[in-house]
Structure 1
Amino acid sequence: MKKFWLSLLSIIIPASAVTFEDNDTVVLLGNTVIERAQKYGYLETAINLSARKKKLKFRNLGWSGDTVFGHARSYFGPPKEGFDRLKSDLTELKPNVVIVCYGAVAAYDGQKGLPEFLAGYETLLSMIKSSASPREIVIVSPPPAESLGAPMPDMREHNKRLALYSKAVGKLAQKHKLQFADFFTTLGESKGLTDNGLHFTPEGYQTAAPKLVEALGLSLATGNQLQSEHARKLREATVAKNKLFFFRWRPANETYLRLFRKHEQGNNLKELPMFDPLIADAEKQIEALKKTTLSLK
């Protein structure tokens, strides 16, 4: 029994805490749990505060329904277009740290889908390294599903699949000597996180945020730091910045700007870089609010 627990701990506990350096660009990459995080700001705010005085810049590249193959990111071209788009985004952003969370979608395929998923993850990791050369890549396991009772489905069987995929990505991180954050185990059987068993509510993100920090081997200054009024203002500023970056990165009328209708309004493409100074100003506000929040005991 003792050997069992020691082997389990070697998988679920990161070898060391994720390290940030001043002026790091941190990319959050994954599917729905990452994309929706930008709407509420809890995850980013918690990670930012856990870095203490180090100045960080976050870019959320989450895409709902995405997998390690990037197919969801494709617009009107072949599925591979989505992966190429992600490669281009990472090349442009040149992140120092990439936090990757995949497996929630793939887990529906169970044991039979695991080899293809892991092969795709290997390809994704190689692409991240070649296109962005980040100092650190962190693999985060998918969070658990939640059984809400009838008429919602019982998620116990799906959690077995998620546990399988979480363990697999943990071993993948070990193989590549990457940091691993076991979000699945850290969240455990937390209740009241989702509205449908899968997708976090705002309150769910609020509960999950310090758990993710813990899984990353980090900590907040105090247990209730995210509850303070100053942290609320910091989180709201983070959400506002995320909106600006989203409009810059994923403009609503991309077919008019870059694709098959660009002959109609393609001249407006030049306006996208105009978001950059707005984002920079928003990040100055975030840094000021972060300093204020950290100064409170």
Structure 2
Amino acid sequence: MKFKLFLLFTFLIIPVAKAIEFKSNDRVVLLGNTFIERDVNFGHIETFLSIALADKKVTFRNLGWSGDTVHCHARSYFGPPKEGFDRLSKHIDFIKPTMVIICYGSVAAFEGDEGIDGFEEGYEKLIDMIKSRAGSRIALMSPPPCENLGPPLPNMNYQNVRLSKYSKIIKDIAVRKKCDYIDLFSALGAGKTKMIPPVTLNGVHFTSQGYRKVASVMMEVMGFENKVDVSNSEREKLRQIILKKNRLFFNRWRPQNETYLHGFRKHEQGNNAKEIPMFDPLIKEKEREIHNLAHSFGKDK
């Protein structure tokens, strides 16, 4: 009897993954700091999602920005910090996402308890801006834990304690603002699980193998674990197309020499700005390839 009660209690406390709802032809934005931006170079998160959502023809846009926070100050160029928030607002206007997956907290957690109030206020302001401009459905994702790789790298246990606290705050924000919540921090072991092989370069920045692990875990947390069963060679072929699309879009929304194209020196070479929209048909062509290939995986089974 005691054993049966133990099993029942154990079953009740195991969190059940709630499937995140995606709709046909969704335009999904991945928004966050370095963790999100670096997947542009690896494409694993988008690859797994593209396979899981192959029947819906979902498109993805990575708007990650290294060092960014919910206040978006890192996105500012030569103006005041507020310019960064305004810049993101314009990108939201341009893309008009129907779904936004947001992952912030890694940077803010370094501020500890002192940064909590500003973090909550900034996060809610960000959510309100996205909803008011695009009416997007939003999922908040907790930041990944740091990894302890041993000396000479620092011990990240204390930072993981702070990340745990911020993850709980993000969950509370998700409840208040009626957003979905993706608990990546816990799903990756909350800093208490040793990954073999390691998933980061330095305890913070994920490797390609690390992002593949992240993508796999995300599928479980989001309720898609049974929808990405394809061979490694098939998945890799899709990933390579996604990487090409990502490079095209990166140059579309963050072109080199933007000061000359759109900034205070556009009077010198601003005529070249007309070439930026020429990326759009190239991006759409890659997306057709992505959808066709991802959809073919299901037909082969």
AA matched with 1:257: L
Give the one of 40, 43, 46 matched to 1:44: 46
Displacement, 1:38? 1.2
Instruction: State the match for 1:165 in structure 2.
Output: 166
Q: Give 1:295 deviation, angstroms.
A: 3.0
Q: What is the 5 A alignment of 1:211-230?
A: 211-221=217-227, 225=230, 227-230=231-234
Aligned with 1:193 (options 199, 206, 209): 199
Q: Shift of residue 48 of structure 1?
A: 1.6
Equivalent residues in 2 for 1:254-273, closer than 5 Å: 254-273=258-277
1-structure distance, mates of 2:26, 2:159: 36
- What is the distance in 2 between the residues matched to 1:111 and 1:75? 29
Tell me which amino acid in the other structure corresponds to 1:187. L
CA distance in 1 between counterparts of 2:224 and 2:181 reads 12
Partner of 1:277: 281
SS state of the match for residue 138, structure 1? strand
Judged with a 3 Å threshold, the aligned counterparts in structure 2 of structure 1 residues 104 and 6 are, in CA distance, closer, same or farther, namely farther
Contact 1:231 1:293 in 2 (8 A): no
Q: Which residue of 1 aligns with 2:59?
A: 57
CA distance in 2, matches of 1:193, 1:120: 30
Out of 126, 131, 155, the residue aligned to residue 129 of structure 1 is 131
Change (3 A) 1:265 1:8: farther
Q: Judging changes above 3 Å, is the alpha-carbon distance between structure 1 residues 138 and 77 closer, same or farther for their aligned structure 2 residues?
A: same
Distance verdict in 2 for CA 1:13–1:181, change over 3 Å: farther
Deviation at 1:92, TM superposition (A): 1.2
* 1:7–1:262 CA distance, 2 compared to 1 (3 A): farther
Between structure 1 and structure 2, the one with the greater Rg is 2
Residue 290 of structure 1 corresponds to 294
Aligned-pair identity in percent equals: 49
Segments of structure 2 that go 5 or more residues without pairing to the other structure are: 1-5
Q: What's 1:138 paired with?
A: 139
Structure 2: distance between partners of 1:216 and 1:253: 39
Between the aligned partners of 1:145 and 1:7, the Cα distance in structure 2 is 29
Count of residues in Structure 1 that have an aligned counterpart in Structure 2? 289
Whole-Å Cα distance in 2 between the matches of residues 111 and 86 of structure 1?
A: 27
- CA separation in 1, counterparts of 2:16 and 2:143? 15
Q: How far is 1:237 from its partner?
A: 0.3
* TM-score, normalised via structure 2 length: 0.91
User: What CA distance in whole angstroms lies between the structure 2 residues aligned with 1:252 and 1:222?
Assistant: 36
Instruction: Give me the whole-angstrom Cα distance separating, in 2, the residues matched to 1:218 and 1:178.
Output: 18
Q: What's the Cα RMSD here?
A: 1.9
Return the alpha-carbon distance in structure 1 between the equivalents of residues 47 and 68 of structure 2: 23
**Aligned-partner residue type, residue 233 of structure 1:** K
The 10-residue stretch of structure 1 (85-94 or 213-222) with the greater mean CA deviation from structure 2: 213-222
1:239 aligns with 2:238: no
Q: How far does residue 6 in structure 1 lie from its aligned partner after superposition?
A: 9.7
Conserved 8 A contact 1:210-1:220: no
Residue deviations 1:13-59 (CA, integer Å, cap 9, x gap) = 55x31111111100000001100111111001111212241111100
Distance in 1 separating the partners of 2:241 and 2:179: 31
Tell me if structure 1 keeps the 8 A contact 2:124–2:177. Answer: no
Partners of 1:269 and 1:260 in 2: how far apart?
A: 13
Check the 8 A contact 1:71/1:81 in 2, yes or no. yes
